[in-house]
Amino acid sequence: MIGLIQRVTRAEVSTGGRPLGAIGPGMLALIGVKREDEPRDADRLLERLLTYRIFADENDRMNRSLAETAGGLLLVPQFTLAADTGRGSRAGFSTAAPPAQARLLFAYLLERARARHAPVAAGEFGAHMQVTLVNDGPVTFWLGT
């Protein structure tokens, strides 16, 4: 699984003008699911999301995690993250998980995240969404499992 994470002062996701989820200071995580991913990959990614140190400590160094800061977590499914972009000028999606598999793994990740952390908000799998955010830093990292 892939998590493209951004430290944010706020973020929200909507579809068709209908709000789906919003957070204040915390982490926006765009989630891609690859064909070979399994629940253990979602567990590993969640561990990384919660413990990756992207928030400033008292010395203004990135030494604090989402779990330590109790910031918000916004999970947004984004199948294009699992695309094959190695050749040509158009992405291929043979490396991305089929929709049924990706939907189950995203739901699993979301359920596990809500059991371990609060607040957690999410986008809607398969929806055409609009994501609004204020990236704090900017700070953006690509996490894989």
Residue 130 known to be catalytic: no
Q: Quick: pLDDT tens for 54-113.
A: 999 999 999 999 999 999 999 999 999 998 888 889 998 999 999 999 999 999 999 999
Q: Give the tokens for residue 108.
A: 């699993």
Residue 95 backbone phi and psi in degrees, to 5: -90, -15
Q: From the candidates 78, 106, 125, 145, give the one annotated as an active-site residue.
A: 78
CB of 115 closer than 8 Å to CB of 109: no
CATH class of 2-144: alpha beta
User: Tens digit of pLDDT for each residue in 96-120?
Assistant: 999 999 999 999 999 999 999 999 9
Task: Write down the pLDDT at residue 118.
Answer: 96
The answer to whether 74 and 121 are in contact (CB under 8 A) is yes
Tokens, residue 141: 């990292």
Catalytic position from the list 80, 130, 132, 140: 80
Q: Read off the pTM.
A: 0.96
For the chain, which residues make up each domain, given as ranges? 2-144
Question: What is the overall mean pLDDT for the chain?
Answer: 96
> Residue 83 in contact with residue 91, Cβ under 8 Å?
yes
Q: Is 80 a catalytic residue?
A: yes
For this structure, is 132 an active site residue?
no
pLDDT in tens, 17-40: 999 999 999 999 999 999 999 999
